[in-house]
Copies of this chain bind each other. A is one copy, B any other.
Amino acid sequence: MSIATEDTANWLTAREALAQMARGALSSADLVAACLERIRRRDPVVRAWTYLVPAAAMAKAKAADAAGTGPLRGLPIGIKDIIYTHDMPTSFNSPHFRGHFPNIDAASVAILRDAGAVMMGKNDTVEFAVNGRRAATMNPHDRTRTPGGSSSGSAAAVADGQVPISLGTQTGGSVIRPASYCGTYAIKPTWNLVSHEGFKVCAASFDTLGWYARSAEDLDLIAEVFGIEAQPCPGSLDGARIAICKTLVWHMAEPATVAAMDQARAALEAAGAIVTDLQLPPEFDGLTEAHRVIMQAEMRSAFLADYRRLGDALYPQLVSIMRNAAGDSREDLRAAQNLSARCRCVFDDIAAPFDAVLTPSTSGEAPVGPEDTGAATFNRIWTLLHMPCVNVPGLTGPSQLPVGVTLTGPRYSDRRLISMAALLGPILSAARPKAAKQSSKGTALQ
């Protein structure tokens, strides 16, 4: 191993690691070795991986060192185990797909490989990224707590220093919720701005590929690789226009989230931001139910092949959706779609005057797991509306566990939101009450 020690390499951001590699201070083999060593030590507790062959990961790293090219040359990335990788199985954490091995890469994986990244292994997920079997993963900050679902392993692996970047997916709150609970940066981009070809479909008009990172700048690095256009953004929070949107489910916020939103507001104001309260129009109140109606209708087509093959062997909640136990009609579906379409336009317009809209990421700290993976209460309307969401970590709750906040905005404002997250993140970490400060390195279990 060259200059970087195991410990420093583990906590490097992707940009730092790439910079060290560019100047020859670190090799991909060094970095992957540090990741593998960290995983070896921590996996008995964190359990973030469903598939990882150390020798194969190391071989890819050495190949990158020898002949790799591209902006992510040699950077190890974890992949949620519903996303296809031609060289690793994809089993959806489903007992019905054990050993399932599609021999193609998802579009997102192909793009990352082309950019030189090392596909490290597969991260555990809630079954089919929806419900049913939970990931074995536990929260790196507290082994009794959930890391959140469904991108459980992807979030935990980044939060725990096991890999600098990972891919997840979101249909309700499956990228942002685990980021909030695990204390990482993450983005769920505008719907369909990044190809969702090649992962298990749940609800096609909501499913969105997202990614986890240790900094907003790393989110941006991957956004660039995925071809998302750069955008102008204020260079400072001083004078930035920020809306605070508590949403119509604010009554579900626990004290940890109420405090987090207050602290974020105070920090923004202290930094000179112009903070405004944003009320959502009353018709937005129907969006939570609209999300359920559309998601379940789309699941009935997405899972039909599985249901025909497996029937009641699928988990009971999925079976009841397949049978339309809720009795939703075509009219209900059309009404839900029409409401969503209207609210997309409305939100684009009401969010347009702001540089970002601040809203909760979760109702509070991570619940005790693994059965309870938390709820998508504060995420699903943004997923339904196709709006980009960035989780900004830094704050903690009464149990000293991470509580994220979300920056959202109009469709296609993704990279502006990432830039705003880069400004907000440091002041949130600084704003955290002293008593609550802990290592950002998830050392609770060390």
Footprint of B on A, CB under 8 Å? 101-105, 107-108, 110-111, 114-115, 192-197, 200-201, 204-205, 226-227, 229, 298, 300-302, 304-305, 308-309, 330, 333-334, 337-338, 341-342, 344-345, 348, 410-412
Contact = CB atoms under 8 A, between A and B. Distances in A.
A295 to B, nearest CB: 12
B412 A305 contact: no
State the number of copies, please. Answer: 2
Contacts of A337: 344, 411
A107 B197 contact: no
Contacts of A305: 105, 107-108, 110-111, 114, 195
A107 B302 contact: yes
Nearest to A84: B104
Contact of A205 (B105, B108, B201, B205): B205
A344 B197 CA distance: 25
A204 B197 CA distance: 9
Contacts of A300: 227
Contact of A348 (B110, B304, B309, B334): B334
A229 B304 contact: no
Given A197-B201, A341-B344, A333 B412 contact: yes
B309 A114 contact: yes
A79 to B, nearest CB: 15
Given A309-B114, A345-B341, A412-B334, A196 B204 contact: yes
9 contacts: A102-B102, A105-B305, A114-B308, A192-B205, A195-B305, A333-B412, A334-B411, A334-B412, A338-B344
A406 to B, nearest CB: 21
Nearest to A412: B330
Given A192-B301, A301-B195, A308 B111 contact: yes
Contact of A304 (B111, B196, B333): B111
Closest 3 CB pairs of A and B: A341-B341, A110-B305, A330-B412
